[in-house]
Chains A and B, each alone.
Chain A
Amino acid sequence: NAGVTQTPKFQVLKTGQSMTLQCAQDMNHEYMSWYRQDPGMGLRLIHYSVGAGITDQGEVPNGYNVSRSTTEDFPLRLLSAAPSQTSVYFCASRDTTGWYEQYFGPGTRLTVT
């Protein structure tokens, strides 16, 4: 099992550019989520999904878009990048057949100039 994978690992964008952060998991988990991590702020939930075709907003959804067409993939789209979106982004997945830990991807470090 590869677990949760994310691409790219690093990305530099200019203000106004758009891009998609990719996330995939091979554990057949229904629940997937995106967090951003900023110094002193901990992990904040951006969007989450409880299954294919179902997504919902987390704590800090503005400026981001998600979709879930398959169980495996949960891409995060930045519509028009802003310097405030400079952060480390983590994708995670979780088994919902019971109460288990959440598995995290290795993260994407994004810089917006």
Chain B
Amino acid sequence: SQELEQSPQSLIVQEGKNLTINCTSSKTLYGLYWYKQKYGEGLIFLMMLQKGGEEKSHEKITAKLDEKKQQSSLHITASQPSHAGIYLCGADGAGSYQLTFGKGTKLSVIP
């Protein structure tokens, strides 16, 4: 079965600083999804990456997919308190609609 490892597990940054979260898969990545979860709430979809080398941005968040490394990275520029939460990566299985998730990265942003 596919496993996704996220690093770091937790991160504390000062407001205005940049940060990167990584998601590495044990198997070939077909589709990679990033979600954000506010504490005690549901999951909010951020971005989907499907092709090697693909890069997407939304506001100050950029996600990239490195097919060869079986890895995706999520980069936040000039972090704000509103970026705080748990970031989860999820991946499609081969020909399957089941999403496997990493254990999440807890981000705290200090004003």
Contacts and interface: CB of A to CB of B under 8 A. Distances in A.
Contact of A102 (B41, B99, B103, B104): B99
Interface of B: 1, 31, 33, 35, 41-43, 45, 48, 50, 88, 90, 92, 97-104
A92 B50 CA distance: 20
B48 A100 contact: yes
B43 A104 contact: yes
A104 B101 CA distance: 13
Given A58-B98, A94-B99, A100-B48, 9 more contacts: A31-B97, A41-B103, A42-B104, A45-B100, A50-B97, A59-B1, A101-B33, A102-B33, A106-B42
Contact of B42 (A48, A94, A99, A104): A104
A42 B101 contact: yes
A102 B41 CA distance: 16
Contacts of B33: 101-102
A54 to B, nearest CB: 12
